[in-house]
């Protein structure tokens, strides 16, 4: 199956039987949650998710794009594997392989650098962004009195950034608290992407930051950056 055959992917998702009863287990839908959310938005509004997101991004000044327009493709940096085992170490992992290996090719730099991929809205993973764009989104989305909270209203925003489920995530293989779109812990709220990019809001120090990289690898690089920021703000 081709990654941009949206109709076929949605048909497969609609016909799939859950592996667990609702609420019985926690596991990240690394690739599929975007299509699931997108189908709900389209059914409710008759508008594609990427179109609604583009409107919000333009309104709030976020340099974020689920699909890159032809005139903007020159801004996108080509990605490269940061180490020799990318993406084999992920695809061979019994947890990660099934979660991010279907449909195939979405960890392949040749695919990710193509104009075809850059113009394809694949909501869970196709975000093209600057670090500043991610930082602005994090700040606007997580601040209780920020523009996203004013758009959603207090109750819906509290549900957006508050804990929705906590448990041992079967894909991440660690305990996780998920909100409706972020991971939440005692230090803050954010989300990482395959390849090493991260958006983060620190509850301890009150900053929002974005880390992007063209070198596909793990999240250790972003952790070093955020640790350095925390150390500087702590005066240590």
Per-residue confidence (pLDDT) for residue 35, from 0 to 100: 95
- Using DSSP, state whether 64 is helix, strand or coil: strand
| Phi, psi (rounded to 5 degrees) for 30 | -60, -40
Distance CA 10, CA 32 (A): 9
Per-residue confidence (pLDDT) for residue 83, from 0 to 100: 87
| Phi, psi (rounded to 5 degrees) for 165 | -155, 145
pLDDT of 179 higher than 80: yes
User: Domains of the chain, with CATH numbers?
Assistant: 6-234 (3.40.710.10)
pLDDT of 236 higher than 80: no
- Using DSSP, state whether 192 is helix, strand or coil: strand
Q: How confident is the model at residue 235 (pLDDT cuts 50, 70, 90)?
A: confident
What is the 3-state secondary structure of 18-40? Answer: CCCCCCCCECCCCCCHHHHHHHH
If you write DSSP's letter for every residue of 89-115 in order, what string do you get? HHHTSTTHHHHHSSSTTTT-HHHHTSH
Per-residue confidence (pLDDT) for residue 23, from 0 to 100: 87
Distance CA 9, CA 105 (A): 15
Mean pLDDT, residues 152-163:
95
% pLDDT > 90, the chain: 93
Question: What sign for the dihedral angle of Cα 57, 115, 37, 180?
Answer: negative
Question: What is the average pLDDT score of the chain?
Answer: 94
pLDDT of 52 higher than 90: yes
Per-residue confidence (pLDDT) for residue 104, from 0 to 100: 93
Mean pLDDT, residues 39-51:
95
Mean pLDDT, residues 118-126:
95
pLDDT of 204 higher than 80: yes
Mean pLDDT, residues 63-91:
95
pLDDT of 78 higher than 80: yes
Distance CA 13, CA 171 (A): 18
């Amino acid at each position: 199956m081709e990654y941009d055959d949206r109709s076929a992917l949605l048909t497969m998702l609609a016909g799939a039987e859950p592996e667990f009863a609702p609420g019985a287990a926690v596991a990240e839908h690394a690739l599929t949650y975007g299509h699931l959310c997108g189908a709900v938005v389209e059914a409710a509004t008759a508008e594609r998710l990427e179109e609604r997101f583009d409107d919000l991004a333009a309104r709030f000044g976020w340099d974020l794009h689920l699909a890159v327009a032809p005139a903007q493709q020159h801004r996108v940096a080509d990605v490269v594997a940061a180490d020799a085992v990318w993406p084999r170490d992920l695809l061979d992992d019994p947890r990660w392989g099934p979660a991010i290996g279907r449909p195939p090719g979405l960890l392949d730099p040749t695919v990710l650098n193509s104009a075809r991929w850059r113009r394809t809205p694949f909501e869970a993973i196709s975000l093209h962004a600057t670090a500043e764009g991610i930082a602005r989104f994090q700040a606007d989305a997580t601040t209780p009195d920020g523009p996203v909270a004013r758009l959603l209203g207090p109750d819906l925003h509290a549900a957006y950034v508050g804990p929705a489920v906590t448990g041992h995530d079967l894909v991440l293989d660690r305990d996780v608290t998920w909100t409706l779109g972020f991971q939440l812990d005692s230090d803050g709220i954010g989300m990482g992407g395959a390849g090493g990019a991260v958006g983060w809001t620190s509850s301890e120090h009150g900053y929002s930051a974005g880390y992007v990289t063209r070198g596909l690898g793990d999240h250790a690089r972003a952790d070093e950056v955020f640790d350095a920021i925390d150390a500087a703000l702590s005066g240590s």
